[in-house]
Amino acid sequence: MNIVSRHLAFLTLLGFAACAVSPPVHWRIDRDAQLLDKKLVNVAVLKVEDATAGRKAGAVLDYIRAEIEKGLITRDYTPLNSVVVDANIRGAVAPGGSIVEAGYLKTLATKVSEDAILAVRIKRWDDSTLLLNNRIAFDAEIVFFGTSAARILWSLDLWGEVLAGGGKAAPQDPARRAEACALEFVNAVLTRLPKRKS
């Protein structure tokens, strides 16, 4: 193997290693003590809001919602079926245009019988390098709203990058690769959500 070939092989391995290293995720959490004091069981997960320029997250919104619903079970919550949630809140309009606002969630609290509402707002979803390095850059806001207390019990600002496959082999199909990134995003949300108090 000549010097040029060795150099190219080294760069290729370096590229694979760079892709396999999980990128940084940053967060800020606000928590109300009542979340730890009250036994919240049933959760209504709203449709994910796409607040990105050009609606860049549109292709993975339903996937994110479904994975959050499944993941809530691992945190000992019981998510309500999304069809039922959507039927109960049909016609509700978010003041100011966002589902994470306390005023909007307070109006929804009268329409659902669940203990809590989980709302997710995606503010940035940049997949411009997805096919190059398997990564998506994001910025999101997540709110956990207590219906009986009629206030936000927990909120999370989350931003950074996610890597499709989480360091394992990424799917070849672009749509599946985007979903793999979305799953890593969901995992980043759920690992920071407190487990339900038994």
The domain that holds 159 is classified in CATH as: 3.40.50.10610
Domain-embedded: residue 78: yes
CA-wise closest residue to 99 among 152, 30, 29: 152
pTM of the model: 0.86
Phi/psi at 99 (nearest 5 deg)?
Answer: -80, -10
Q: Which domain holds residue 41?
A: 22-190
Cα 151 to the center of its chain, rounded Å:
21
Is residue 11 included in any domain, yes or no? no
Token readout for 150 is: 């009629």
Inter-residue contact 59 to 178 (CB < 8 Å): yes
Question: What's the CA gap between 64 and 120, in Å, rounded?
Answer: 9
- Report yes or no on 64 lying in a domain: yes
Residue 34, domain member (yes or no): yes
Say which range, 12-16, 48-52, 57-61, 117-121, has the weakest mean pLDDT: 12-16
Task: Name the band, by pLDDT with cuts 50, 70 and 90, for residue 12.
Answer: very low
Domain assignment present for residue 13? The answer is: no
Beta-bridge mates of residue 158: 27, 140
